[in-house]
Amino acid sequence: MSQVLRFPDGFVWGTATASFQIEGGRPERGDCIWDDFCRWPGKVFEGDTGDVADDHYHRFREDVALMAELGQNAYRFSVSWPRVLPDGAGEVNEKGIDFYSQLVDELLAKGIDPYVTLYHWDLPSALQRLGGWAARDIIYRFQDYVALMADRLGDRVKNWITHNEPWVVAFVGNLQGRHAPGWEDLGLALQVGHHTVVSHGLAVQALRARAGADARVGITLNFSPAYPASDSPEDVAAARMHDGFANRWFLDPVFKGHYPQDLWDAFGYQVPRVAPGDMELGSQPIDFLGVNYYTRAVVQHDASGWLGYRTLRPEGEYTAMDWEVFPQGLTDLLLRLTRDYGATPLYVTENGCAYEDVVSDDGQVHDPQRVEYLRQHLAACHAAIAQGAPLRGYFEWSLMDNFEWALGYSRRFGIVYVDYATQQRIPKDSARFYASAMSRNAIEV
């Protein structure tokens, strides 16, 4: 017998995207570190670039019409810093500002509330040449850029996200070398991470001062809930270590004003330089936390592994990213955030999956696995709400197929299929499933 799970009245239903992944419109903006990274041989699948992507820069009206057809009441997108400030600072590209201004107007005209992310990884190349996120001056350049956007959009945009996944910025870009700028240096990565935390604080101040008294400001973090491989004390301690590295390293400074001591000790001499006042800046009160969840980590003690552990690949169902499908992890995460970090309103700002979608003979894209993934993760959200998590909304990643960073266009996360040769958009079965969930404010399980 099926059961209907109803969401609270006023629940926010959206989809999410990011500038570099969908916009294209390369000649109409300055260069960013991902343009440079795409040119680095071997770094990005088949040398794919963001030059055209989904051509959203030229097709945004069509894309907003699609969102309206789906029936979403919110949309999360990011601003490309080099589109509005081609050199990262100084001269403003008014055409770039106009693009975002028109996008916001178009959304509002269709009853869709914009949630604007200010940094989703496309740092202006001009600023990278000055040291990028590793150089302290970046925090003030970010503050100026955020102030500009608050001045230009703050009359209409009420929900702001300072950073998307600073963990990925710091560690995937500067320790693992798999993202731009491509470095492999722990000390550098930790300093980069620290500057994102401090710049988040400065951005909160800029938004509070300039985006209107009703502006709501948050940050989006990515999470990797840690489950010990066994109940042995060694595995439990290993899971705690992974939790410190993957989750608490950014949660604690943002909510508690200090780095987690266990990880601080583990990082030894590589820890970041922290100037007086930094931790107070980074931990100012915020209005919500954005939660990005895709999968969990099963952690086993391994003295030879980095930080003394390794992650396992349990039996189960996997997406095309080779990420385990584990909806319970989302319930556990939302409840844990509520328990350990207070009752800050939560939004799932990203959740979704990649599968090998194809256009069938009937011209449609049938993606039953994504439908099930969404259904199960929405049920997981519902369970967390029922147990007290202050979850206010859910943004599906992603509205449409797009540039999946180092994997180029080889992974499709959209509920809308994009034919990159023609730029045709084809809503997948999952788009219809999600549209029905949004219109009913409920799912059936």
Q: Does 18 bind ligand IFM (CB under 6 A)?
A: yes
Residue 172 in the binding site for ligand IFM (CB under 6 A):
no
Q: Is 79 in the site for ligand IFM (CB under 6 A)?
A: no
Closest separation in Å from C-beta 413 to ligand IFM: 6
Least Å distance, CB 200 to ligand IFM, is 17
- The residue annotated as part of the active site, out of 23, 324, 350, 396, is 350
Q: Taking the complex as a whole, how short is the minimal distance between the CB of residue 387 and ligand IFM, in angstroms?
A: 26
Q: State yes or no: residue 397 binds ligand IFM (CB under 6 A).
A: yes
| Smallest gap from residue 334 Cβ to ligand IFM (A) | 17
Residues binding ligand IFM: what is the number (CB under 6 A)? Answer: 8
Task: Among 191, 196, 247, 292, indicate the residue that binds ligand IFM (CB under 6 A).
Answer: 292
CB count in 10 Å sphere of residue 135: 15
Identified catalytic residue from 106, 165, 324, 404: 165
Q: Which is nearer to ligand IFM, 249 or 259 (CB)?
A: 249
CB of 25 or CB of 166, closer to ligand IFM: 166
Q: Residue 272 or 352: which CB sits closer to ligand IFM?
A: 352
State the residue number with the nearest CB to ligand IFM: 18
Does the protein bind ligand IFM through residue 54 (CB under 6 A)? no
State yes or no: is 444 an active-site residue: no
Interface with ligand IFM (CB under 6 A), residue from 30, 404, 417, 434 = 404
Decide if 350 is catalytic.
yes
Determine, following the binding rule CB under 6 A, whether residue 350 of this chain makes contact with ligand IFM: yes
Query: Binding to ligand IFM by residue 357, rule CB under 6 A?
Result: no
- Smallest gap from Cβ 295 to ligand IFM, in A, equals 10
- Which of 23, 113, 165, 396 lies at the binding interface for ligand IFM (CB under 6 A)? 165
**Residue pointed to by tokens 């034919």:** 419
Q: With respect to ligand IFM, which residue has the nearer C-beta, 259 or 395?
A: 395
- What is the chain's length? 445
Site residues for ligand IFM per CB under 6 A: 18, 21, 165, 292, 350, 397, 404, 413
Which residues are tagged catalytic? 165, 350
